[in-house]
Chain A
Amino acid sequence: MSRFLPLYKREFFAYFRAPIAYVFIVIFLVASLAFPFYLGGFYESNTASLQSFFSFLPSLYLVLVPAVGMRLWAEERRNGTIELLFTLPVTTTETVLAKFAAGWTFLGIALALTFPIVITVNYLGEPDNGVILGGYVGSFLLAGAYLAITCFTSALTKSQVVAFVLSALAGFILLLLGWGVFTELLAQALPYWLVDFISLLGFLPHYSPINHGLIDSRDLMYFISFIAAALTLNGYVIGKRKTA
């Protein structure tokens, strides 16, 4: 695994060499902080909690995370540097993990830079900081899940745009699966246990409890399994290209 670290560093710093990274962070910060203030009624609610902040993240990630991950594989394929990558004495697994980890760290940094709102809410009142911590843990995992999808779609195509669209679409479906109105529609046609199962495939039923401060091993397992599954698909596709 000693080859993982240099790979990871390469990928991670690659983010910061392009201006797009800074643009992304600024857009993410402005959007994620503007929504609660101007759409979510954070200040008017007179409640010392960051629920209005966290509730917008799933929708925000839907659009922004694919923008972060779309270049991971698609760019290399387009530039042809992917062949170079294959000649290096690194396994597919290491490359897949390194790229994902780099993207995830980047998203983690962007998330951490939202700290002003934590300071704000603590200045205004006395929130439950345990719940807020839970919200950040959940958001970080959620970002990882979205990113894993994007890694997979990025490996499928040379075009970053296609990767973006596919990833956003997949994310949208997964978001929808856990959404109340949709599951109620499903329930008209399908037996209840199937509907329950399907809705548990979605993000929200697993994101929501962590958001409220309850870290359930089942939800952790969901996110880890999901990321593992998506990255495995990612590796599978790359492996095929390698041997092709």
Chain B
Amino acid sequence: MKRSQLLFFFFVSLVSLNIIGYQFYTRFDITEDRIYTLTPETQKIISTLPQPITVKFFFSRSLKELPILTKTYASRVEGLLNEYATRSQHKITLEVIDPKPDSAAEELATQYGLTPGHLPSGESVFFGAVFLRGAKSSLIPLFDQRNEQFLEYEVSQAIVKLKNEKRIQLGILSNLPVLGSDTPFTLPGVTKPAWVFAAELRRRFDVVSVPSNTTEIDKALDILLVLHPKRLTEKTEYAIDQYLLNGGKVMAIVDPFSSLERRQRPEDPKYLEGRLPNVSSSLPNLFAAWGIEYEAERVIGDLTNASQVHTLSGVESISPFFLALNRENLNQNSPITKQLNHLLFIYSGAISKKQDSPYEFQPLIQSSKDATPIDSVLASVIQQQELAKQVKENGGHRYLAGLLEGTFETAFPKGPKEEESAFGGRLPLPRPGKAVAQKLAPGHLAKAKQVGRVLIVADTDFLVDENTSQKAMQGEHIVVKPINDNLRFLMNAAEILGGQDELIAIRGRGQIARPFLRVQALQKQAQLRWQKEEGLLSKRINELQTKLNELQSQKLQSNATALSPEQVAEVQKFRKEEAQAKARLREVRKILREDIEKLGTQLAFANLFFVPFGVSVFGFVFFRRRQQRARRRKLA
């Protein structure tokens, strides 16, 4: 029949249309974060490429057991890479390659350095990209779907690496094994991996390690990152000072209380002597010369930015020393911080600029107004919950990080002092009475010739792996996913200082998570209430305990063999009160959770009830009216 033929043709043409449409398509990104469109910053990067770039996208499309989620993600990645190519005005060409097993393409992929993922069946999946510009190349070894929101950043970063003629040289001066350790104390062949932030730095810059007792810093370094400097010799501080004056950029990350160090030194002999090891760091001479006030023995407790901590016993509590910082704590005028959303600082200190300092200080991160500095020694010995009680409201804002700028003058006008030798005796000093002309090395600068910049951060724990990212195993690989913007903060700062800040806006895209803010606010409120109650109840229990003990000792002193009836009654009364107080404590804990659950139930009820109820009522009314109209018509 002619009609069925028409029908057949119609279907064939529909299918063909769709197949053709697969080659020529457009996409509309309606997300708020625009996670599927190229940012204007990426646009700028790819339209100002000096030389053409070839992108080879390797994906084992034809593998049999490929999960569908990976396939769809791969098509999204290809779509994005296509976007790059189309909008680059022919500067970027995209090649899509399927490296089948035992093919030349597979060898090529391995040569380039792509790391294959593994399916449960054991087969290798290639899912990465190589970016080539002449003889230079940069690499994304494996695309991880869990980091989809950072996809554009990864790709733009790979391109920027190729684009810039010179890579920023960054030196790290620290005693912490951030670049991975291969120390004589570990078994040969056992290497500890570099910290996540260091690995991230390595991807973007050329990173070298600077010994912490160095007396001179290579001028070829663009940035010097000083991390947790503990009692540096004056000679080392002097080296940093001169490096700064010679045009180097410094990132000084210090800490009044490194919880990392604190946890790692239980076998420290000082503990055994009854003394607490010092887990703080500072640059005393430099800070003094720069007019920076920093108390190396005080940590900041902040009630408003307190965040949840999982203690060893599995109990969750809120600590005002674990600072969850949000946009309102970040300087919205600085490109370093204005696109960040969440930072986590732990046992942080505070910095400020003295009135008479000639330099400019731009605060980057500040606490809420409910911040109080607490003695860090107490933080070592007292239970966290006790310590938290000392934090007061309305203690005032404190700055946790900032940028210092100006034409710096040396902190050592007479040069660095000689230090005590390791054996505790002083090196031979010139005879008293004779003035010593301290010889300054040639090339000593008393004042910088250009404006210098120093980033100062008063916490080091924010860079510790567990506070920046989450690690998960994907087959044989460890995949790292950031849990907040700590890493971004560091990278942004390094790029701004190093003068290659094209990636900052792209890095800022894609919020990490969108939590239920209202629930979090409830939790915080509840926690504060609970802490108050718990404080009172604990005090009461302690009082009762003391009284009981007093009674006991009275009994001993009076040499009585038994308690008098009055005493027995008292003891019973105390015991009863104690039990009541403890029960009340448990109840208060329960109430904590109930408020939050109540909100959930109320919302579920509201959702499930109102509109369906409205519809039912509407329907009911509608039908009644129809019935009435029909009845009226019958009667008429």
Determine whether B271 belongs to the interface, using a CB cutoff of 8 Å to chain A.
no
- C-alpha spacing A127/B69, complex, angstroms: 24
Question: Other than the known A130-B30, A225-B17, what 14 A-B pairs have Cβ atoms closer than 8 Å?
Answer: A16-B622, A21-B619, A22-B615, A30-B612, A37-B608, A43-B516, A43-B604, A44-B600, A120-B606, A187-B66, A214-B27, A216-B28, A229-B11, A239-B3
Binary interface encoding of chain B residues 594-636 relative to chain A, with 1 for a CB under 8 A from any of its CBs, else 0: 0000001001101110111001101100110010000000000
A25 contacts across to B, CB distance below 8 A: 612, 615
Q: Report B1-50 residues with CB < 8 Å from chain A CB.
A: 3-4, 7, 10-11, 14, 17-18, 21-22, 25-33, 35-36
What 6 pairs between A and B have smallest CB-CB spacing? A22-B619, A213-B31, A180-B68, A48-B514, A43-B600, A215-B28
- Main secondary structure, interface of B, reads helix
Closest-by-CB residue of A relative to B7 is: A236
Q: Are B516 and A124 within 8 A (Cβ)?
A: yes
How many A residues are at the interface, by size bracket?
35 or more
Q: Are A123 and B518 within 8 A (Cβ)?
A: yes
Q: Are A215 and B27 within 8 A (Cβ)?
A: yes
Q: Are B18 and A217 within 8 A (Cβ)?
A: no
Determine whether A222 belongs to the interface, using a CB cutoff of 8 Å to chain B.
yes
- C-alpha spacing A180/B72, complex, angstroms: 11
A178 contacts across to B, CB distance below 8 A: 68
Q: Are B30 and A116 within 8 A (Cβ)?
A: no
A188 contacts across to B, CB distance below 8 A: 64
Closest-by-CB residue of B relative to A222 is: B18
Q: Are B72 and A131 within 8 A (Cβ)?
A: no
Q: Are B516 and A180 within 8 A (Cβ)?
A: no
A selection of 23 A-B contacts at a CB cut-off of 8 Å is: A19-B623, A22-B616, A26-B612, A26-B616, A114-B611, A115-B611, A116-B611, A120-B607, A124-B518, A127-B514, A131-B32, A179-B68, A183-B68, A184-B65, A187-B65, A188-B64, A192-B63, A214-B29, A215-B29, A216-B26, A217-B26, A218-B18, A229-B14
B516 contacts across to A, CB distance below 8 A: 43, 46-48, 124-125
Determine whether A128 belongs to the interface, using a CB cutoff of 8 Å to chain B.
yes
Most buried by A among B514, B622, B623: B514
Q: Are B615 and A29 within 8 A (Cβ)?
A: yes
A221 contacts across to B, CB distance below 8 A: 17-18, 21
Determine whether A49 belongs to the interface, using a CB cutoff of 8 Å to chain B.
yes
Q: Are A19 and B619 within 8 A (Cβ)?
A: yes
B64 contacts across to A, CB distance below 8 A: 187-188, 192
Closest-by-CB residue of A relative to B616 is: A26
A160 contacts across to B, CB distance below 8 A: none
B18 contacts across to A, CB distance below 8 A: 218, 221-222, 225
Q: Are B611 and A113 within 8 A (Cβ)?
A: yes
Determine whether B513 belongs to the interface, using a CB cutoff of 8 Å to chain A.
yes
Q: Are A30 and B619 within 8 A (Cβ)?
A: no
B518 contacts across to A, CB distance below 8 A: 123-125
A165 to chain B minimum Cβ distance, whole angstroms, is 24
Q: Are A217 and B27 within 8 A (Cβ)?
A: yes
B600 contacts across to A, CB distance below 8 A: 37, 43-44
- C-alpha spacing A229/B18, complex, angstroms: 12
Q: Report A224-244 residues with CB < 8 Å from chain B CB.
A: 225, 228-229, 232-233, 236, 239
A217 contacts across to B, CB distance below 8 A: 21, 25-27
Q: Are A29 and B606 within 8 A (Cβ)?
A: no
Determine whether A129 belongs to the interface, using a CB cutoff of 8 Å to chain B.
yes
Q: Are A128 and B27 within 8 A (Cβ)?
A: no
B118 contacts across to A, CB distance below 8 A: none
- C-alpha spacing A204/B285, complex, angstroms: 64
Q: Which of B11, B31, B610 contacts A130 (CB 8 A)?
A: B31
Determine whether B389 belongs to the interface, using a CB cutoff of 8 Å to chain A.
no
B25 contacts across to A, CB distance below 8 A: 216-218
Determine whether A69 belongs to the interface, using a CB cutoff of 8 Å to chain B.
no
Q: Are A232 and B10 within 8 A (Cβ)?
A: yes
